């Protein structure tokens, strides 16, 4: 695959990430389908990553999209301190443990670990090119 091919794979990967972000939160089937497509594209990119110079601009654009998506997920997280009473005498109806569990489930549903891993990989690739 030449550099335009890997650029296409990375662009497709970015488009899949955008489609995942646009899905309704309860569209689990859509998330699974797009997640599989995302994995396929990542495997394809990994096969060529070491042998082909990757377009820095494309990586920077993908990093920008992923960082924005990560921030959206961060903004959606439940503030554990506030939900458990903010240090005051809050009730047990919604404890910090419940908030932590909901945050964990949201992270899994939205692929937060994969987003963080790809951000780290892009930063590594950009650092190698410097």
Q: What is the pLDDT of residues 43-84, one digit of tens each?
A: 777 766 665 556 788 889 999 999 999 999 999 998 887 766
For 5, the 3-state DSSP assignment is helix
Round to whole Å and give the CA distance between 98 and 78. 10
Residue 89's domain comprises 3-129
Round to whole Å and give the CA distance between 65 and 77. 19
Round to whole Å and give the CA distance between 102 and 98. 6
Q: Give me the chain's average pLDDT, please.
A: 81
Picking from 96, 76, 97, 93, the residue whose alpha carbon sits closest to that of residue 84 is: 96
pLDDT given at position 64 = 95
Round to whole Å and give the CA distance between 89 and 76. 24
Between 113 and 2, residue with greater pLDDT:
113
pLDDT given at position 63 = 94
Domain count, the chain: 1
For the question of whether the overall pTM of this predicted structure is more than 0.75, the answer is no
């Amino acid at each position: 695959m030449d550099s335009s091919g890997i650029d296409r794979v990375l662009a497709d990967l970015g488009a899949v990430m955008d489609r995942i972000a646009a899905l309704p939160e309860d569209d689990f089937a859509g998330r699974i389908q797009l997640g599989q497509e995302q994995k396929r594209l990542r495997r394809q990119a990994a096969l060529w990553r070491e042998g082909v110079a990757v377009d820095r601009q494309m990586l920077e654009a993908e990093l920008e999209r992923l960082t924005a998506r990560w921030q959206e997920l961060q903004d959606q997280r439940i503030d554990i301190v506030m939900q458990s009473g903010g240090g005051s005498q809050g009730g047990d109806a919604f404890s910090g443990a419940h908030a932590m569990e909901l945050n964990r489930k949201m992270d899994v549903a939205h692929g937060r670990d994969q987003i963080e891993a790809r951000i780290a990989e892009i930063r590594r690739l950009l650092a190698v090119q410097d």
